[in-house]
Amino acid sequence: MTFSEQYIQVRKHSEQICEPLQTEDYVVQPIVDVSPPKWHLGHTTWFFETFILIPFHKEYRVYNAEYNYVFNSYYETIGNRVIRTDRGNLSRPSVSDIYAYRSYVDIAMRNFLKNELTAEVKALFFLGLNHEQQHQELLLTDIKYILGNNPLFPAYRADETIDTELESTLLEMISIKEGIYEIGYAGEGFCFDNELGRHKVYLQDFSISSTLVSNAAYLEFIEDGGYTNFVHWHADGWDWVNNNKIIAPMYWHLIDGDWFTYTFEGLKPVNLKAAVTHISYYEAYAFASWCKMRLPTEFEWEIAARKFKWGYRWEWTESAYLPYPGFSKAPGAIGEYNGKFMVNQKVLRGASEATPPGHGRITYRNFFQPYLRWQFTGIRLAQ
């Protein structure tokens, strides 16, 4: 596949995700962690314009100089920006304006990609594609939050389900022998900088579950008073539960004694055979404690992942998000991509059913603060 074909494929997928939306859906920002869908479409376009077209395409003319302020996310090197909490206040540019912006940049990119690309530009190009794929997953999770917090619980797509049943809900453990193992990305393809610094780690004997925790198993935790017994929780987690009155995973609703959950198809009874999702690290830790087990470290997960099926949920690990040995940030704005977030976050491994095809890999390191749960997060147990 040519560079141009790869570019078109990724860009079209973002717009396909938004096809079921009404115009009003594009603008909503219910909480700070959720960005309006139209902002995602504009930001991913700004990325290609800012990091490829402006510095490397001599004939390119900026579409709208004010868009740098609107669509810059967190790049201090690039300049001032609309603060994250105010993205939902942007009634302008309109949705049609943003699609026009995408079209303008896409035409320029397709023309630019006809040229011979330097190694530097190729690296930025593939970073841009993977960056947009990350936002495609964020688009789905943000759309679910927007619609799932609408009191009408509107369906995203009547035929869209991200609730695949687990092949087995039996808790079977896979044993891994102690030893010295290599961790981190190795290969010629794309990876993010936080996967680099391949290095050795020593792991003791451990075992890890062959399957994710199901809704049925998590419901047992709820019914056994899991959310009302402090003994299972970190102090921060216990404060979070009580301050926010948490009684179940995000999107779960107890209606006339039965549990329902918001899905892309609307409000449905909780599927007991599906993997539990939309839980925080705090909840994952508490559930593991209740089971008299624990969460795996990211290193244990990476070594064991070839022995089980992964990709249904982003899986919380017990590892803090820290740099690998020898990690160094790239110069300029690109160096702000991952490195500056390596504090107060937990690593998640795997992928989810919202992850674009081909975007996941065993060495991928996702990361979030421990209280967040709007992503498709789940639990795999270890001991």
Dump pLDDT digits (tens) for 295-315.
Answer: 999 999 999 999 999 999 999
Positions of E strands within 220-344: 252-255, 258-263, 266-269, 314-320
Is a pLDDT exceeding 70 seen at residue 161?
Answer: no
Is a pLDDT exceeding 90 seen at residue 330?
Answer: no
Mean pLDDT confidence for 158-165: 70
Query: How far from chain centre, in Å, is Cα 174?
Result: 27
d(CA 325, CA 344): 19
Other beta carbons less than 10 A from residue 285's beta carbon: 22
pLDDT the model gives residue 334: 77
pLDDT band of residue 162 (cuts 50, 70, 90) is low
pLDDT the model gives residue 271: 95
Q: Is the dihedral of CA 183, 322, 337, 376 positive or negative?
A: positive
DSSP-H helix ranges across the chain: 3-18, 37-48, 54-56, 67-71, 95-112, 119-148, 215-223, 235-244, 281-290, 298-304
Report the half-sphere exposure of 316 (CA within 13 A, side-chain side): 31
Domain-by-domain residue ranges, the chain?
Answer: 3-148, 173-378
For 291, the token pair is 């089971």
Question: Which is higher by pLDDT, 179 or 169?
Answer: 179
Q: Cα separations (Å) of 113 from 7, 17, 44?
A: 9, 25, 17
Per the document, the length of the chain is 383
pLDDT band of residue 338 (cuts 50, 70, 90) is confident
Mean pLDDT confidence for 177-204: 96
DSSP classification of residue 51: I
CATH architecture group of domain 173-378? Alpha-Beta Complex (3.90)
